Amino acid sequence: MTIIVHHLEHSRSQRVLWLLEELGLPFEIRHYKRNKATMLAPPELKRVHPLGKSPVIEDTAPPGDDAPRVIAETGAIIEYLVEKADGRLGAPAHREALLRYRFFLHYAEGSLMPPLLLKLVLGRVPLFGKAGQKRIQPMIDTHLDFVEAELSSREWFAGPAFTAADVMMSFPLEAARSRAGLDKERPATIAWLDRIHARPAYQAALAKGGPYAYA
């Protein structure tokens, strides 16, 4: 069975398409559009997974099971695909690089993304939203300074080679450039974004994925 990616426009699932292109794994895309009023995912996604969110992938059923394997959560999907590709773009062999790989794989959604999402939500709150955004920005700046320091010492997040950790870090940093003050004042991070955007697999995924506001 070809991997099916349930892909929502302008979302984290763009990373899954990119990694699939990098790994050369066959896949097909089922496209979903956001509700124009709420910007939420459509209810059709709940037919795939109870949480009704994207990304979600379907893959070949486990032995003895007729239903396809359904996997949600970007990090879990990334790890699943790396394993499926026999470890390509996965954890480096060098101990320190491995630890960095593991850290950034989880840091992207566990620490960096929450304040960015909070700033987006506050931006939609009348009256007090702007004040709330100003209070959350210093927290975001701390994260962006940390990322800048890391990328100032090496080309990729885990070490000298591109890995799936770079794929995971793409969405929050693209979002930060779009709405949270990431600019040329942090040149190492901007240079990293330029490098990932120049990758042929990134461009191929962008062409197939459709609308994506952060590239």
Residue 69 φ then ψ, to 5°: -80, 125
pTM (2 d.p.): 0.93
Partners of residue 30 on adjacent β-strands: 6
The answer to whether residue 178 scores a pLDDT higher than 90 is yes
132 pLDDT exceeds 90?
Answer: no
Q: Output the pLDDT for position 127.
A: 66
User: Which residue segments constitute the domains of the chain, with CATH numbers given?
Assistant: 3-89+201-209 (3.40.30.10), 95-199 (1.20.1050.10)
Q: Calculate the average pLDDT of the chain.
A: 93
User: Tell me, what's the pLDDT at 215?
Assistant: 75
Q: What is the pLDDT of residue 64?
A: 67
Burial 110-125 (b: 16+ CB within 10 A, else e): eebbebbebbeebeee
Q: What is the mean pLDDT of residues 74-83?
A: 98
Q: Which of 20, 82, 12 lies closest to 54 in space, CA to CA?
A: 12
Q: Give every CB contact of residue 110 below 8 A, 6+ residues apart in sequence.
A: none
Tell me the pLDDT tens digit for each residue of 82-124. 999 999 999 999 999 999 999 999 999 999 999 999 988 787 7
Report the alpha-carbon distance of residue 193 to residue 172 in Å, rounded: 11
